[in-house]
Amino acid sequence: MPDIKTEEMLLNMGPQHPSTHGVFRVVVRTDGEMVLETESHIGYLHRCFEKVAENNNYLQVVPYTDRMDYLCAMANNLGYAQTVEKLMQLQVPERAEHIRVIVTELNRIASHLMAFGTYGMDIGAMTPFLYAFRDREMILKIFEKLCGQRLNYSYVRIGGVTFDITDEIVADIARFCEYFEPSIIKEYNDLLSYNGIFISRTANVGVLPVELAISYGVTGPSLRGSGLKRDLRKDEPSSIYDRFEFDVPVGTGEMGTIGDCWDRYMVRIREMTESVKIIRQALDALPPGEFCDKKAFRGVKPPKGEVYHKVEGARGEVGFYLVSDGTNKPYRVKARGPSFSNISVLDALTSRGDCMVADMVAIIGSLDIVMGEVDR
């Protein structure tokens, strides 16, 4: 049979597309259903966070960090607060440390639930999305009770947290943990994780070798999906994470190759179990006492100097580089959003010639990006 030369088609995916998880644009060169090459374009959501931060005092920067990774705002708050505290050598009360761990882990679960739900939707299953939202709603209700906010909490602040955690909320969280693990996780696995069609759509698709992941600076579940046991909560425990027992799930290539979409997806599901473990321990160990450093709440003026600090967010390493000139406003704030590094590997995954248009959607979904964090 003679080689039929068909024309290539240049396809513009985004900025408005249901599966780009925000305003993200990929220019795709396709040959029929096969993707030959992709080129990502970002920047549609740029809000000059870093420049704005220079014109606000240290406390006023906190709400801007919420809007980076708006699905896991607690981790951003935590990263920023701990960076300033590190610069000031400020010791946070024990109770505040525990509360921080609890809310960050709860928010991680909420964020992973969102990742789980939208990933199901990317693959074509609508129902897991609604299931995930049903359970995410419980976490958001707890947060609403805790700080009046459902998404952009600004709850973790320099010197502690804004409100104390009441007994009622502690009971709510314990009840959620009881409800969620293991029965709900099992439900998710039955519904989606071990569904034959789902496995055939995600296993051996978008394989991310660990070397490639490291060279692109991929972190978080996307990196762990490639089999590398790298988790800042274990490796460089910033808060009181070293006191808790938990595992770091990694991709094992159970259904296909190590580092495929299914591995990345499954790491998130398993991390939810681990987060519940941490929350249970932190609730048990929750000490009485102050929940914040009242003095720091009135305003901070860190000494001259610079500092870099990173914490493990839901999507990877959330890092803040801070330069202080001794005034009450930061001289320079540089944020490292994990989604930014994670999305940069997309072109490498989709331009190998073995990817179909439907796979591209699966790969973008498995990297679990939040555009607010990519563009900042």
Partner 1 sequence: MTRPRNTAILASACIALSVLGPALWAQEAAGTAPTAAPGAAQDGSAVGGIVQSGAVPAPAAEPAPPTAADLAKRYGTIPEQGGLYLQAGFYQLVDALGLAVTLPEWLVVLVALLVVCLLVFGFINVFALFAVWLERKVSAHIQCRLGPMEVGPHGLLQTIADGIKLTAKEDIIPRLADRPLYILAPILVFTGVLIRFVPLPFGQHLVASDLDLGLFFVAAVGTVEVIGVIMAGWSSNNKWSLFGTIRTATQMVSYEIPIGFAFVAVIACAGSFSLQDIVNQQRGWFWNWYVLVNPFLTILSIVYLTASLAECKRAPFDLPEAESELVSGFHTEYTGMRFGLFFLSEYAAMYLVSAVAVVIFFGGWWSGIRPLDDIGMSPGSPPAAAIAGFLLKAAVFVTKAVVLVFVQVWVRWTLPRVRLDQMMHLCWKVLLPISLVCLVGSTLWQMASGGAGLYGIPALLGLGS
Q: Please report, as ranges, the residues that interact with partner 1 according to CB under 8 A.
A: 9, 11-12, 17-19, 32-33, 120-127, 130-131, 134, 192, 195, 197-198, 200-201, 356-359, 361
Of 176 and 198, CB closest to partner 1: 198
- Tell me, rounded to whole angstroms, the distance of Cα 367 from its chain centroid: 10
- Tell the smallest beta-carbon distance from residue 211 to partner 1 (Å): 28
- Tell the smallest beta-carbon distance from residue 186 to partner 1 (Å): 17
Q: Which of 312, 183, 196, 178 is nearest to 262 (CA)?
A: 196
Of 122 and 375, CB closest to partner 1: 122
Distance between the two ends of the chain, CA-based, in angstroms?
Answer: 52
3-state secondary structure 6-55: CCCEEEEECCCCCCCCCCCEEEEEEECCEEEEEEEECCCCCCCHHHHHHC
Of 184 and 300, CB closest to partner 1: 184
Q: How far apart are CA 247 and CA 245, in angstroms?
A: 7
Half-sphere exposure of 168 (CA within 13 A, CB side): 6
Of 311 and 361, CB closest to partner 1: 361
Of 71 and 192, CB closest to partner 1: 192
Q: Which long-range contacts (CB under 8 A, 24 or more apart) does 356-361 make?
A: 356/33, 356/34, 356/35, 357/11, 357/28, 357/30, 357/33, 357/35, 358/33, 358/201, 359/35, 359/205, 359/206, 360/13, 360/26, 360/28, 360/35, 360/38, 361/19, 361/122, 361/123
DSSP letter string, 228-266: ----HHHHS--SSGGGS---------SSSSTTSHHHHHH
Of 120 and 372, CB closest to partner 1: 120
- Tell the smallest beta-carbon distance from residue 136 to partner 1 (Å): 12
- Tell the smallest beta-carbon distance from residue 132 to partner 1 (Å): 11
- Tell the smallest beta-carbon distance from residue 316 to partner 1 (Å): 24
Of 32 and 148, CB closest to partner 1: 32
Q: Tell me whether strands 156-157 and 25-31 are parallel, antiparallel or unpaired.
A: unpaired
- Tell the smallest beta-carbon distance from residue 21 to partner 1 (Å): 10
Of 34 and 170, CB closest to partner 1: 34
- Tell the smallest beta-carbon distance from residue 16 to partner 1 (Å): 9
What are the C-alpha distances in Å from 292 to residues 73, 146, 206, 288, 296? 19, 15, 45, 12, 8
- Tell the smallest beta-carbon distance from residue 261 to partner 1 (Å): 12
Of 64 and 188, CB closest to partner 1: 188
Q: Which of 295, 309, 315, 325 is nearest to 80 (CA)?
A: 309
- Tell the smallest beta-carbon distance from residue 9 to partner 1 (Å): 6
